[in-house]
Structure 1
Amino acid sequence: MKSPISQVPTDEDQFVSLDGALADESKLELLEYWRSITKRKWGILLLGLVFAMAAAAIVYSLSPVYRSTTTVLIEQGKSNLLSIEDVYSGISQAKEHYQTQVEILKSREVAARVVRDLRLWEYPEFDLRKAEEGGVAKLKASLGFGAVKQEATEARLADAAVDMFSQQFSVEPVRLSQLVKLSFESKDRKLAMLVANATAEAYIAADREARFKMTQQANGWLQERTQSLRDKLLSSERTLQAYRDKSGIVTLSGSAQTMISQQIGEVTQRLVEAKARRAEAESAYEQMKSIVDGDYTSVPAVLRNPSVADARRQEAVASQKVAELQQRYGFEHPKMTQALSEQRAAKESLQRQSQAVAQGLTREYESARSTERAMEGALASARGTVQSVNRQEFQLSVLDREVQANKQLYDLFMNRAKETNLGGDLQGSVARVVDEAVVPYAPVKPKKIMTIAVALVLGLLVGVLVALLLDQLDNTVKGIEDAERRFQQPVLAALPELGSKEGAQAITMFVDKPESYLAEAVRTARTGVLLTDIDLPNRILLVTSSVQGEGKTTVSANLALAHAQTKRTLLIDADMRRPQIGRRLGLPLEAKGLSNLVSGTVALKDCIHCIKGSMLDVMPVGDLPPNPLELLLSSRFSDTLSGLAKQYEVIVIDSPPVELVSDALVLAPMATRTIYVVRAMQTPHPLARKGLVRLQRSGAKILGVVLNHLDHSKSQRYYGDYSGYGAKGYAGYGYTKTKNA
């Protein structure tokens, strides 16, 4: 026969699926949470009631606090007169102005004004001396933690009252409006109303005083500035007049500039005319200079002279007369002589007239040149005068503009000083009271019903969280449904929790008390075994667990007793380290058993013992071997087990726990099926799951899980009516109830 270790299955797909099914833990569903809550519902309710009672004791011991509220309208005051904000910072935006006023309402200055006006330190609630004389202060002083006691001056009391005031005062802007609610909380209802109204009045008074103070400061600054501007205006006017006197300027209307412009125009016109006359005279003069013989009659300018033209006409007449007489008479004729004489006289007259005209043209040319030079000089002088006047008028306009600017600035500041002074007297307040505070009749703190309700809900929530946390920390198996969900294996039966007295006798309870819960559970497990592998003529059942104390020996014995009623059954104790079956079934201590049979020292008949009152054969451990694992790994053990399987229809093997030793891992491949025993409410499910995985890896065929020591009442709190036969189910079938732990 092959070694048990070599019998590990090679079907990787089946191995991986089983391993993964056990390794992946599914998440708890809402139903699991609900079961956790209902399981501890009375504890959760009790915790909620404790919270509510504690809250009630606290809130009913506290003094009631009253709140009184006054409503103030904050306006962005805009009068027709100049506001002081315009002098300092210009026009503010409405939103910024509103937020600024809200912050001013929260300021310490307003709080200090209210404290001083009402002398709040004289009220017990704001009296620092009362707090220093209290029990807490005395305890701190006795422990050395208290501050050095100071003299209770009025200033110190006022400062302390301001701090207390700030803690009890609140400002709440009303959305989408310019309204602000000023609320004050106090143990004295009348004081709450008084302080709320006084705060609004103090804020309005403080604003009025601030505006008046700023107006006075602005008025003084404007007056000082106006006086400076007045002096500057007078100085500029004196400078302007001095310049007028120095420059000889009578008017600033521009007439001097106009007169000089007209004079320049006239001189220019005369200069043009003089240039024309000079050019004409110069032309005639140049023509006369070209005459050598002194006959100027060929000069056009001379010929145009009336006297020369008349003399030339007479000379022509005389010459014509001579020509006519010459044809009639001779040169000696007296008429001829007279005509010649007249002709000579006419020529001489023409010569004299042309010379006189030529001399006159020369003088006219020189006169025209002199006149031209004079006109040019006058024009240059007029131009210089214009430039000088332009410079004077430019300087004059500068001084005049300075005078006008100073005058306008002076008038502006004078008007603003008057408007500011008048505006300071007429400017209204930035706020007004819309709704005054009244004496409150209902306290706002503590809200007893709400506080108690919140405490109750909080206690219930804490209880629920604790319940869920306890379930999360509790990793034991709670019941059949929990076992099947966590192990992914069928639960063959759920054995009930027994008392200590019955537990000591539970190994044979199937035959001793056949109508007990345990007996019925064992019958259920036997049915599950018989319905598995129906065609097998012989079955070898290995019963094991994770650790000691889970009841595997009790399950093995009772399951073997159940099978012994219908089949030839053998119960083998394979726990060679801590054997239990022989002792608990009442066999002699020296009774031979498995180790003797495998070693070959004792015959089979001497190793098998019958149990009184049943058909069950039992094979105890016998003599404890020094090396149990080597014994189980030997071929003699395999051969022995095979031989026994031929003689018995059912063999039930009680093996050691999986987590303590590896004996069960060696025995599991030899068995037809393996039954895993888990103790409810005690065995951690990761530990049991680990044992199942190790068995599957060794080649074991898991038949199912037997849940032992199950307290049905606790299991019902977890999962209601469990899938197996619960306490009610057993009673319904007529089974009598045994004592449960």
Structure 2
Amino acid sequence: MEFKKSISNPPQEQIIDLKIYWKLLIKSKWKILGFAVFTTLLTAVFVAGMQPVYRATTSLLLESDQNKTVSIDTVYSLDTSRKEYFLTQYEILKSRIITEQVIDKLGLAYQPEFLPSDEPSLFSDVKSYIKSFLPIAEKNNEIIDEFDGRRDKVALINTIQSRIEIEPIRKTQLVNISFEAHDPKLAAMVANEIADTFITQGMASQLNSTKKAASWLQDRLEELRLNLENSIDLLQKYRVKENLIDIESKGVRSIASNELESLTQSYLDAKQKRFEAETIALFVSRVEDNDIESLLSLPEISNHESVRAIKRVEIEAEKRYSELSFRYGKKHPKLIAAKAELAAVQKNLQQQVDKLVTGIGKDLSAAKDNERRFQRNLNKEKSKFQVITNKEQNYLKLSHEVESNRNLYDAFLERFKEMNITTDLETQKAQVVDPAEVPISPVKPKKTLLVLIAFAVSFIFAIILTFILNALNDSFRSAAEVESKLGIRLLGLVPLLHLKRKKGLPLYAFFDDAYRTFSEAIRTLRTGFVLSHLDDDHKVVVVTSSVPAEGKTTTAINIAFAMAQMEKTLLIEADMRRPSFTRVFSLDPYQSGLSNVISGAETLNDSIIHDEMSGLDILSAGFIPPNPLELLSSQKFATLLMKLKEEYDHIIIDSPPSLAVSDALVLSKSADSVIYVVRSESTKEATAKAGISRLVEVEVRIDGVVLNRVNIKKLKKNMDYAGYYDSYDYNHKNSR
């Protein structure tokens, strides 16, 4: 069905209509404005009673850290690269020790602004009262007094610190020291005193550090002097003991080194000669039968002066012999003489070579002896040089210790002299650039600004609160909300009537000109209902709601009154669990009704009552049965309803609420349609949807929704259905 689809599948996307929010603001404008004005007035009263606060500012130039004990340059140097130093100075400016000194110097503890209130607070009274019942041991009054005094001092320090503001100026070494107080003179005085105290403390700290350093240097200098003297004595004793006269000029060590070097070279030369002699001797020993030709191949033999001389003689003898052998025969005396001469020369050469071979053996022995001699001397010289080197190392060690002690002593002595010079030189780590002046105007509170902010914030808060309350309110206040939330058309509106307290709506208000607006609303409802059923035989209609007290019975009665003015109409009270017709129509308490007719205890004609004023026939609930649902579900009720359709043009059934019991579902199945009543600004969206869903599940027809108890004035202000009843008021005024 169409209604079932609209309820089970609500729109997924909701279009934000700004007109709705604008109407809501227009509707609540006086509430919003009133809240804003009230809040602003309270803020103005509060601000008017606030004491003005003045701020005084001192500009201070911070120099870099100068507390060094290494060089005299610290008096003049300025290190601007240490950000940590400046951050440290900022924290020192806000430190407790600076604040406490300022409090003591200026006597801030006795300033009226910082004196504790003499009037006991409610919290202190309650605390004292509770303590009086607790078994707390008594403490020493002197300790308590001392603790309380220090606690008050600490509290005052915290208060002063909370009013101090340290603000560095970027990319400079300047810092602003600000202090806030109710007294402008006091603000300037404290700001200047903070700067002066910081400078004085810095100078005192630096001077104290210098004096401590000087005292430490003096003690250390005496210790270093003794160390230097002891090291000099040890060096001198060692020099005398080891007879080291020329050790500093390296004379002894250089002589020993030269001797060692010379012996080493001689040893190497002897070794080389021995190696060469061994080589020659080895070659000679391998020559067979002292072959003279092989021996003469040795340079040591062939290059010998005597051998060379004999070789020249031999060559001349061989030349002469060769010449004579061409000229004379073998037996010629000259040839024989030449041959004898040549033989004598060769023999002499052989003898000379033999001598040289013998000399080679002797040279080898001499070379070996010479090598051994140089090696012994070299070993002795190495041992001697090692001893000298060890002595020199010990001497240099003592000498270096003397030199180190002397350099350290000289450095400390120089620093001690500098410290004596700079002890009385007071160097400031900071200086006041711009002292604080007595402020003329307060910095806070900015009363006008606070009032304007209070108005703006309260105004915005009221708007937001209005939107939130409107969003949280899921009731129905207009026709548009009924149709958009439930997806069912609005059949009509029933206005809210302002009645006297404890006085209900008169039964026949529909016929009373004093309630003309109400009457016209019922007639409009009747017209909409009739026009929706022109083409079908539509007689039985059930009037129900979600929960009790939504105006279901009143709506059913007045719709029946309106229908009775046109056609024959019967009003049936089917709410047999909580019947009300007996009270409303002033009937006999034992008047028979629907339950009596269905059970067969009474006849239909005896149970129907005719109302002369309205021309309406009424069938009340009758006695309260133990099983109303079974009676309404019975065939007798269906037969009764069919019989009544033949006699009446319209049958209006007042049904129990759909969520309370299942009677409404049974009645709706027997009826042609249903009119659903929703109370304005009371019935929740979820409740109405749940009740309608139950009806949709049994597939009954819902003609529409009646929005009951609608505040017409609010609707007119909200421009919803503006003029909906204006025509009725206009006609009513004209008739008068």
- With the shorter chain as reference, the TM-score category is 0.7 to 0.9
Q: 1:464 offset after TM fit, Å?
A: 4.7
Q: 1:107 offset after TM fit, Å?
A: 0.9
Is 1:253 matched with 2:241? Answer: no
Instruction: Measure the CA separation in 2 of the matches of 1:60 and 1:699.
Output: 69
1:169 maps to which of 160, 164, 168: 164
Instruction: Measure the CA separation in 2 of the matches of 1:179 and 1:494.
Output: 77
Q: Structure 1: which 5+ residue stretches go unaligned?
A: 1-10, 284-299, 306-363
Q: 1:585 offset after TM fit, Å?
A: 4.9
RMSD: 4.8
Match of 1:676 in 2: 676
Instruction: Measure the CA separation in 2 of the matches of 1:66 and 1:178.
Output: 26
8 A contact 1:22–1:693 mirrored in 2 = no
Is 1:178 matched with 2:173? Answer: yes
Is 1:64 matched with 2:62? Answer: no
Q: 1:407 to 1:616 in 2, by over 3 A?
A: same
Instruction: Measure the CA separation in 2 of the matches of 1:637 and 1:681.
Output: 36
The aligned amino acid for 1:612 is E
Match of 2:185 in 1: 190
TM-score, with normalisation over the residues of structure 1?
0.73
Write the mapping of 1:404-419 to structure 2, written as runs, cut at 5 A.
404-419=403-418
What is the total number of aligned residue pairs between the two structures? Answer: 649
8 A contact 1:476–1:683 mirrored in 2 = yes
Q: 1:656 to 1:27 in 2, by over 3 A?
A: farther
**Alpha-carbon displacement from aligned partner over 1:40-64 (angstroms, at most 9, x marks no partner):** 4434433333333333333323332
Q: 1:699 to 1:208 in 2, by over 3 A?
A: same
Q: Structure 2: which 5+ residue stretches go unaligned?
A: 133-138, 282-300, 307-362
Q: 1:160 to 1:395 in 2, by over 3 A?
A: same
Write the mapping of 1:413-452 to structure 2, written as runs, cut at 5 A.
413-422=412-421, 428-452=427-451
Instruction: Measure the CA separation in 2 of the matches of 1:110 and 1:495.
Output: 78
8 A contact 2:715–2:722 mirrored in 1 = no
Instruction: Measure the CA separation in 2 of the matches of 1:159 and 1:621.
Output: 84
Instruction: Measure the CA separation in 1 of the matches of 2:547 and 2:366.
Output: 156
Match of 2:233 in 1: 238
Match of 1:497 in 2: 496
Match of 2:118 in 1: 133
Match of 2:641 in 1: 641
1:54 maps to which of 42, 45, 53: 42
Q: Secondary structure at the match of 1:652?
A: strand
Is 1:723 matched with 2:731? Answer: no
The aligned amino acid for 1:550 is E
8 A contact 2:4–2:697 mirrored in 1 = no
Q: 1:700 to 1:154 in 2, by over 3 A?
A: closer
Instruction: Measure the CA separation in 1 of the matches of 2:603 and 2:391.
Output: 156
**Alpha-carbon displacement from aligned partner over 1:413-445 (angstroms, at most 9, x marks no partner):** 333333455455557322222221110111233
Instruction: Measure the CA separation in 2 of the matches of 1:45 and 1:235.
Output: 97
Q: Percent of aligned pairs with the same residue?
A: 34
Q: 1:735 to 1:457 in 2, by over 3 A?
A: same
Instruction: Measure the CA separation in 2 of the matches of 1:628 and 1:587.
Output: 21
8 A contact 2:66–2:74 mirrored in 1 = no
Larger deviation: 530-539 or 590-599? 590-599
Match of 2:205 in 1: 210
8 A contact 1:593–1:607 mirrored in 2 = yes
1:199 maps to which of 194, 198, 201: 194
Write the mapping of 1:15-94 to structure 2, written as runs, cut at 5 A.
17-21=5-9, 38-76=26-64, 82=70, 94=82
Q: 1:119 to 1:154 in 2, by over 3 A?
A: farther
**Alpha-carbon displacement from aligned partner over 1:80-104 (angstroms, at most 9, x marks no partner):** 99569989xx989621111111111
8 A contact 1:51–1:458 mirrored in 2 = no
Is 1:530 matched with 2:530? Answer: yes
Q: Secondary structure at the match of 1:525?
A: helix
Q: Secondary structure at the match of 1:516?
A: helix
Q: 1:543 to 1:263 in 2, by over 3 A?
A: closer
**Alpha-carbon displacement from aligned partner over 1:99-145 (angstroms, at most 9, x marks no partner):** 11111111111112222322333433344xxx263454996797577
Instruction: Measure the CA separation in 2 of the matches of 1:250 and 1:431.
Output: 60
TM-score, with normalisation over the residues of structure 2?
0.74
Q: 1:74 to 1:677 in 2, by over 3 A?
A: same
8 A contact 2:59–2:176 mirrored in 1 = yes
Q: 1:475 to 1:52 in 2, by over 3 A?
A: same
Q: 1:214 offset after TM fit, Å?
A: 1.1
Match of 2:539 in 1: 539
Match of 1:630 in 2: 630
8 A contact 2:53–2:182 mirrored in 1 = yes
Write the mapping of 1:452-491 to structure 2, written as runs, cut at 5 A.
452-460=451-459, 463-464=462-463, 467=466, 470-471=469-470, 476-491=475-490
Q: 1:216 to 1:84 in 2, by over 3 A?
A: farther
Instruction: Measure the CA separation in 2 of the matches of 1:192 and 1:689.
Output: 69
Larger deviation: 592-601 or 405-414? 592-601
1:103 maps to which of 91, 98, 103: 91
Instruction: Measure the CA separation in 1 of the matches of 2:371 and 2:513.
Output: 167
Q: Secondary structure at the match of 2:398?
A: helix
Q: 1:190 offset after TM fit, Å?
A: 0.8
Q: 1:393 offset after TM fit, Å?
A: 2.1
Instruction: Measure the CA separation in 1 of the matches of 2:125 and 2:604.
Output: 87
Match of 2:327 in 1: none
Larger deviation: 584-593 or 567-576? 584-593
8 A contact 2:57–2:177 mirrored in 1 = yes
The aligned amino acid for 2:681 is M
Match of 2:700 in 1: 700
8 A contact 1:680–1:707 mirrored in 2 = yes
Instruction: Measure the CA separation in 2 of the matches of 1:487 and 1:275.
Output: 127
